[in-house]
Amino acid sequence: MKIKLEQVMEAIETADDAFTYLYDTQTGETVLLPDDIAFGERDEELEELIENAPMGRFLRFPTKYDIHEYSIMEDFVYSLPSGTARQKLVNAICGRGAFRRFKNGIRYHRLEQQWYDYRDQAYREIAIRWCQDQELEYTEET
């Protein structure tokens, strides 16, 4: 079974603390395991299924901690040509509130589309690397 790269990228794009995103190699589906701390209750049935499944059936998609959004943002800033926009964004990504200042900065300098294209490419590379690490064949069909 091949996994759609789009499926992996979607799990990467939506990664958060509320769910653990898993790939079920048996069904080819993305499974969301809710975090009991975020929701106050557990999905015991799903937890039991995952716990008792054969090794390798459920593969954890990259988490937001594996993705390092800040590093992607920083790489984007340093990929820009030297000039005012780059310098302002270098300053914007330092300290508390970096993400908010970055978003305001790319909007001000009209770099939003360039940023989203850059981020999407980074997510794509993470998705491909994840597939390779899991020894999964992938397809780029939608």
Residues 62, 130 contacting (CB under 8 angstroms): yes
Gyration radius of the chain over CA positions: 18
Instruction: Decide: helix, strand or coil at residue 55.
Output: coil
Query: What pLDDT digit, counting tens, does each position of 3-45 carry?
Result: 999 999 999 999 888 888 999 999 999 999 887 655 566 778 8
Identify the bridge partners of residue 3 per DSSP, sorted by sequence position.
138
Quote the pTM value.
Answer: 0.86
What is the structure's pLDDT at 15? 87
Q: What is the pLDDT of residues 67-80, one digit of tens each?
A: 999 999 999 999 99
Q: What is the pLDDT of residues 81-123, one digit of tens each?
A: 999 999 999 999 999 999 999 999 999 999 999 999 999 999 9
Q: Are 89 and 75 in contact (CB under 8 A)?
A: no
Mean pLDDT of 39-62: 85
Question: In the chain, pLDDT over 90 holds for what percent of residues?
Answer: 71
**Would you list the domain boundaries of the chain?**
3-64, 68-121
Find the mean pLDDT for residues 52-60. 91
Q: Would you state the structure tokens that stand for residue 87, as one six-digit string?
A: 């310098």
The pLDDT-based confidence of 47 (bands split at 50, 70, 90) is confident
